[in-house]
Amino acid sequence: MTEPFVGGGVVAALVTIGFNFWWDRKKERSAQEWEFKRYRANLVHSAAFGLMEVFFGAKTEIDYLIGVLATLSASLQQLSVRADSIVRGQTGPQLTDLDLQRREDELLQLFSVYNGQQVDLRWNQYEQKVKELEARAQSYVSVLEPLIPKDLYHDCCSPR
């Protein structure tokens, strides 16, 4: 009378063990797949965020450069006006326009040289920065290529 009951218990235990084994394996595989998906999605996110940083970084650089150089230009303009009034105040009406211009140029020479150096310096810094940003953008595009579907890559990233 008890034999079928014991037999049934053993079968039930074996089925449970088998099911648990299968379930654990399935869960593990599912977790691994999810981690891999998350990893790939994070790479796409990092590349997309990096491209955004590059875009706004380059925009900020040029914005800053224009601001600095416009200020330098305006200050040189103001100095030029002051130099004109100084030269006119120091000299009589006998001086020709050409002489006045020459004296103004002499007075402003140091400022002009300084301004020219600043312009070159800022411009070179800007060019360097833009090259760095461009290289970063290219690397983000390379990261994206194997991670997104071909049609999306073609739509978003390939040169047109």
Residues at the contact surface with other proteins, assessed by CB under 8 A: 37-38, 40-41, 44-45, 47-48, 51-52, 54-55, 58-59, 62-63, 65-66, 69-70, 73, 123, 130-131, 133-134, 137-138, 141, 144, 148-149, 152, 155-160
Q: How far is the CB of 14 from other proteins (least distance, A)?
A: 35
Q: How far is the CB of 160 from other proteins (least distance, A)?
A: 5
Beta carbon nearer to other proteins, 95 or 133: 133
Q: How far apart are CA 122 and CA 127, in angstroms?
A: 9
Q: How far is the CB of 55 from other proteins (least distance, A)?
A: 6
**Is residue 119 classed exposed, middle or buried when 0-12, 13-18 and 19+ CB atoms within 10 A define those classes?**
middle
Q: How far apart are the first and last CA of the chain?
A: 82
Q: How far is the CB of 90 from other proteins (least distance, A)?
A: 32
Cβ-based neighbours of 126, under 8 Å, separated by 6 or more: 61, 62, 65
Beta carbon nearer to other proteins, 17 or 135: 135
Q: How far apart are CA 83 and CA 110, in angstroms?
A: 12
